[in-house]
């Protein structure tokens, strides 16, 4: 057994193992110890405490963390990080005045990504996604959810999910896979929505179930994409194969996505740029987590998610990157945390909890990661020398992550 001691930590934060996602006032509660140590055995957290209580000696590795903070590694519960190509040409079109909807109507957007992904090999997709994962880990991410949805044919959706399965097998990061065949309608089904839904249910889901290619099912519930009723039909079909729902809801409109998510006991409903009081109250009364994706709102110049209203109403909220080539070409959780404080008025402690333990709950990984707790995976961030936790979102754009351990390995 290999032992590692991280000693003289200025503050270790994110301690404990809450039994349910943090809500309301509890979201601001980030348990911590000053002048602390953290003990690791192989790939697990073995213990922590104040330096004055450190009894053991003779560790295989010792790291002096004087002046530095330790936090749980980020848990990014919503990404589309398997894709074939970036889309900066659309970004420039947008700068010239075209809207997201206009770009989509020209065959851009998701369909552009789908054409490129259909032409890419499984190996090419794996190599590029692997590089992205390595980069995310260096920025402090230890767990990540990855969606399909840029395939849109049985062959290409299964190819994407097989790439995600391989990433799961080979990466030190904890990974969950989500089937998002219902991301948009492929051109050949533009006038036959029922036909595409039929293909999702009868051509894709049985193979996904048989090969255990996904943990969750997602639908882009949005005007012009999938209606509330279609979303319910598709999610229920996925649930037959044991896939719980995680839904793209209320991004551009009051789409009914939150309603269907709550009805189906979805693990999460994600985006939530467009909310009203009734929808917030419904979410607050449920066990479904509301996942906010501020960098997507930022990139699309949309109003940010109403974080304060959601938290004050007692909704369980998480933060994630939505890393994808169309609406959030960044997988940097540090930026998400900073933006949620600066633009959405979340407190630093609230943002850190939403990006760690509540993100872990949104991937059902709360027993494995998301907090510093003996028995959980050795996933944590060691910051540079900083004076306070608040400095992390305050000094946005600075890289304050010095070292990251994921599954017991320095990244
Ligand atoms: O989560 N909202 C739908 N899907 C993605 C964007 C997809 C794209 O433009 O490629 C999102 O923002
Ligand atoms: Fe998304």
9 Cβ contact partners less than 8 Å away, ≥ 6 residues apart: 35, 36, 37, 38, 65, 68, 69, 70
* Pocket lining: 108 vs ligand 1, CB cutoff 6 Å: no
Residue nearest to atom 5 of ligand 1 (CA): 327
Residues with CB under 5 Å of ion ligand 2 are: 322
**Distance from the alpha carbon of residue 226 to the mean position of ligand 1, in angstroms:** 13
By C-alpha distance, which of 159, 146, 266 is closest to 204?
Answer: 159
Q: What is the number of the ligand closest to the CA of 297?
A: 1
Dist CA 405 CA 411 (whole Å): 6
* Pocket lining: 326 vs ligand 1, CB cutoff 6 Å: yes
* Pocket lining: 147 vs ligand 1, CB cutoff 6 Å: no
Average pLDDT (362-391) is: 98
The residue to mutate among 78, 80, 84, 99, having the most atoms of ligand 1 within 8 angstroms of its beta carbon, is 80
CA angle 348, 352, 354 (to 5 degrees): 115
Average pLDDT (359-382) is: 98
Q: Which atom of ligand 1 is nearest to the CA of 248?
A: 2
Per-residue pLDDT tens over the stretch 93-136: 889 998 877 887 777 889 999 999 999 999 999 999 999 999 99
Dist CA 184 CA 248 (whole Å): 12
Average pLDDT (356-362) is: 98
Q: What share of the chain is helix, strand, coil (3-state, %, to 5)?
A: 35, 25, 40
Would you state the pLDDT for residue 106?
A: 77
**C-beta of residue 217 within 8 angstroms of C-beta of residue 179:** yes
Per-residue pLDDT tens over the stretch 51-80: 999 987 899 999 999 999 999 999 999 999
* Pocket lining: 383 vs ligand 1, CB cutoff 6 Å: no
**C-beta of residue 358 within 8 angstroms of C-beta of residue 403:** no
Q: Give the range among 1-15, 103-117, 355-369, 393-407 with minimum mean pLDDT.
A: 103-117
Cα-to-chain-centroid distance, residue 293 = 9
């Amino acid at each position: 057994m290999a032992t590692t001691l991280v000693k003289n930590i200025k503050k270790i934060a994110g301690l404990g193992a809450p039994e349910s996602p943090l809500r309301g006032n509890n979201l601001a509660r980030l348990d911590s110890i000053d002048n602390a140590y953290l003990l690791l055995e192989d790939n697990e957290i073995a213990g922590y405490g104040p330096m004055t209580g450190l009894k053991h000696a003779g560790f295989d590795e010792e790291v002096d963390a004087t002046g530095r903070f330790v936090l749980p590694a980020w848990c990014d519960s919503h990404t589309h990080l398997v894709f074939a190509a970036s889309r900066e040409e659309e970004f420039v079109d947008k700068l010239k005045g075209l809207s997201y909807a206009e770009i989509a109507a020209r065959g851009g957007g998701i369909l552009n990504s789908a054409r490129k992904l259909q032409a890419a090999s499984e190996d090419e997709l794996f190599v590029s996604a692997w590089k992205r994962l390595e980069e995310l880990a260096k920025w402090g991410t230890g767990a990540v959810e990855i969606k399909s949805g840029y395939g849109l044919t049985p062959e290409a959706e299964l190819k994407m999910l097989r790439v995600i399965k391989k990433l799961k097998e080979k990466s030190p990061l904890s990974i969950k896979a989500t089937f998002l065949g219902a991301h948009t309608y492929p051109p050949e089904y533009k006038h036959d929505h029922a036909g595409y839904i039929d293909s999702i249910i009868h051509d894709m889901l049985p193979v996904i179930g048989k090969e255990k290619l996904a943990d969750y099912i997602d639908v882009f519930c949005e005007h012009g994409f999938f209606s509330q009723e279609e979303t319910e039909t598709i999610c229920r079909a996925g649930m037959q194969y044991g896939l719980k729902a995680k839904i793209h809801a209320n991004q551009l409109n009051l789409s009914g996505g939150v309603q269907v998510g709550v009805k189906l006991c979805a693990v999460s409903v994600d985006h939530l740029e467009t909310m009203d009081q009734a929808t917030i109250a419904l979410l607050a009364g449920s066990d479904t987590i509301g996942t906010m994706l501020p960098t997507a709102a930022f990139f699309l110049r949309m109003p940010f998610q109403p974080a304060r209203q959601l938290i004050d109403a007692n909704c369980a909220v998480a933060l994630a990157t939505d890393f994808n080539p169309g609406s959030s070409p960044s997988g940097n959780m540090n930026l998400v945390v900073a933006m949620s404080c600066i633009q959405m008025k979340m407190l630093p402690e609230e943002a850190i909890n939403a990006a760690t333990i509540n993100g872990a709950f949104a991937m059902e990984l709360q027993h494995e990661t998301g907090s510093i707790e003996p028995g959980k995976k050795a996933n944590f961030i060691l910051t540079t020398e900083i004076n306070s936790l608040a400095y992390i979102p305050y000094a946005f754009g600075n890289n304050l992550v010095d070292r990251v351990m994921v599954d017991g390995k320095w990244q």
